[in-house]
Amino acid sequence: MGRTGWLLVLVVLLVVAGASVGHLLGRRGDTRELTGVIGSQMTAFFADPAVRQALADHGVRLRLDPAGSRRMADLDLGGYDFAFPGSAPAAAEITRRRPAVGAPVAVFTSPLAVASFTPVVDLLQTAGLARRVTGGHWTLDLKAFVAANQRGLRWDQIPGNATFPVRQAVLVATTRPADSNSAALFAALLNQVTGGDLAAVTKAFADQGAVDTTTGEPFESWLRRGKDFAPLLLIYEAQFLERYPAPGAGADRIVLYPAPTILSEHTVVPFTTAGADLAHLLATDPQLQRLAAAHGFRTAGAPGAPGVVALGATDTIPSPDEPTLHALLAALEERLT
């Protein structure tokens, strides 16, 4: 994505204060401007005036470009102090193109989730694709979902469906795996539950037609248009909790968790010393950690939003390493084009 047109300028005015962590990026009274490229799902966090003020207290002003996490590695990264993709594999791909100054830093996490509506989830339960688990949250059985997609299940074929009787395939709307981290990790999940059945994984994406390239775009469309846009939409949990932080806050809008899901580690790749200092600040500053949690992210240094679901070891699988994910996405892209 070009820096012209998509440029998001976050201007932060310096406030001289005795911050506990100190001015990591300049002398007290100085302001240092850093440039970075970030996943679209983090745009609202960095646009938050409270976040800008917290950064200002450390002498930081940011100029940010949003982009799909998988596409960042293909950008001209020469002018950036850091990149901030949505996962460790995407960060590893970026470091292959431009070496990091120090190690990449995982700042916060968010599991993959599916945004939907109560009447739609009730239909999924009828079809044997979703269930409510201990703790009250909903899960989407990925193995059953792939099997339903393979046999061409449509919404109007679910018994007793009077709420959404459309002649459309039951599928999860996603972004493009080659561009977007959320779709890439969803492909990894489908590959895991199908035992590496690339044809089945391909069908789950091919049936969607044209898709967006960043996770933020379809979520905004879903918020505006609801089921008419997508009855099931792949998102990060943080996107939903940022809008609806408490259980029930979204009325009939609810979130499901793929079973299994992946905890996506949002990771800063620093290209300069200042970028490395910023990564450390984001990962350790108590105020920034609290603000990240308020935006729905899971952090090590602050309690999560009220709607955060406890996920056990059996609810998730590890993110694949970058070579494995790269090979899967290359094979998938070849079939999709």
267 beta partners: 106
CATH numeric code, 111-262+313-336: 3.40.190.10
Query: For residue 146, is it left (φ>0), alpha (ψ between -120 and 50) or beta?
Result: alpha
Closest CA to 149 of 126, 173, 180: 173
The CATH code of the domain at 3-108+266-294 is: 3.40.190.10
| Per-residue model confidence as pLDDT tens digits over 48-100 | 999 999 999 999 999 999 999 999 999 999 999 999 999 999 999 999 999 99
pLDDT of residue 71: 92
Please determine, for residue 260, whether its predicted confidence score (pLDDT) is greater than 90.
yes
pTM for the structure as a whole:
0.88
Those residues with Cβ within 8 angstroms of residue 176's Cβ, 6 or more apart along the chain or in another chain: 68, 183, 211, 212, 213
The token pair at 145 is: 């979902």
Average pLDDT over residues 250-254: 91
Domain extent listing, the chain: 3-108+266-294, 111-262+313-336
pLDDT digits (tens, 9 = 90+) for 217-229: 999 999 999 999 9
Q: 3-108+266-294 and 111-262+313-336: same fold?
A: yes
